[in-house]
A and B are shown apart, each in its own frame.
Chain A
Amino acid sequence: MKKALFTVLILTVAALTAGAFAQSISETSATASHLIKVNLPAVVALNVVGDTSGTDLSFNPTASEVYNSANSSTGIPAATGGFQDLYAFTNDASEATLSVDVTDSASTTASAAVLGALQLKGGAISAYTAQVAPGMPQSVINRSDFSLHLTGTEPQGNYTYTITYTLTAN
Chain B
Amino acid sequence: MHPRLRALVTSGLLLTALTTMSAALAADIGLSPARLSLTAAPGATVSAEASVFSTSANPIAVTITMGDWTQSSDGKLTFLPVGSADHSATPWATPSATSLVVPPGGTSTVRISLQVPDDPSLAGTYQTVVFFETEGTPPKNSGTQFLTKQRLGLVVYVTIAGTGTSGSKLSDMYLDGKDMMLVLDNTGNTLMRASGKVELRDRSGATVATLPVGDVPVMRGSERDLALALPTDLPAGYYVALALIDDSRGGSLVGQLPFQVGN
Contact = CB atoms under 8 A, between A and B. Distances in A.
A30 interface: yes
A87 B18 CA distance: 13
A67 interface: no
B147 A161 contact: yes
Nearest to B49: A32
A45 B147 contact: yes
A27 B248 contact: yes
B222 to A, nearest CB: 12
Interface string B111-128: 000000000000000000
A115 interface: no
Interface size band for B: 35 or more
A5 interface: yes
B149 A164 contact: yes
A50 B144 CA distance: 8
Main secondary structure, interface of B, reads strand
A8 B170 contact: yes
B73 interface: no
Interface in A144-170: 158-170
Nearest to B245: A21
Contact of B174 (A1, A8, A33, A59): A1
A12 B166 CA distance: 14
Among A10, A13, A170, chain B packs the most CB atoms within 10 A around the CB of A170
A160 B155 contact: no
Contacts of A161: 144-147
A105 to B, nearest CB: 9
B40 to A, nearest CB: 13
Given A11-B254, A37-B30, A170 B155 contact: yes
Contacts of B39: 28
Contacts of B174: 1-3, 6
Nearest to A29: B37
Given A10-B251, A42-B27, A164 B133 contact: yes
Among B51, B139, B169, B173, chain A packs the most CB atoms within 10 A around the CB of B173
A89 B30 contact: yes
B173 A6 contact: yes
B258 A5 contact: yes
A148 to B, nearest CB: 8
Contacts of B163: none
B236 interface: no
Contacts of B193: 25, 27, 94
A11 B136 CA distance: 51
B179 interface: no
B214 interface: yes
A158 B196 contact: no
B34 interface: yes
A84 B148 CA distance: 12
Contacts of B259: 5
A46 B143 CA distance: 12
Contacts of B144: 48, 52, 57, 77, 158-161
Contact of B195 (A1, A10, A22, A167): A22
Interface of B: 24-39, 48, 51, 69, 71, 75-77, 79, 129, 131, 133, 136-137, 139-153, 155, 169-174, 176, 190-191, 193, 195-197, 212, 214-217, 244, 246, 248-259
Interface of A: 1-3, 5-13, 16, 20-42, 44-52, 57, 59, 77, 81, 87, 89-90, 92-97, 99, 129, 131, 134-135, 158-170
